[in-house]
Amino acid sequence: MSAKEVRIAFRRLLKVQRRRFEGDQSIVAAARDQTRKEFEANRDLSDPKLIAKRLKHARDVEEVIRRYVVQAPRSTEKDNTYQIKFTSEHALRDRHPILIKSSLQDKKPKDE
């Protein structure tokens, strides 16, 4: 494995994190810091098989973030609803909206 392949994997991870978590700078920073920490921890690897394994993991993580992670900010229009924005990269079985019932909706505040 070349250093170029490692740099490419690193940059791709950072790029997909910035796109997926756009608008949430604290999450972008946390993801970037964790990615940097993981790559730094493996900086001194010399076994080609272990390096290939780590690069495959990095590519898999990038794929999961790109295809399966969505941001769902709370809607300002309705209580207990979230706005989910899918892109063409997301792995969807169909284009129908996903309805999720939260167990928190049924709970009453403790002070009642």
Please write the tens of the pLDDT for every residue from 37-86. Answer: 999 999 999 999 999 999 999 999 999 888 888 888 787 888 888 877 77
pTM of the model: 0.71
Q: What is the distance between the alpha carbons of residues 64 and 84, in angstroms, rounded to a whole number?
A: 17
Task: Kindly report the backbone phi and psi dihedral angles of residue 27, in degrees, each rounded to the nearest multiple of 5, phi listed first.
Answer: -70, -40
In sequence order, the β-bridge partners of residue 74 are 82
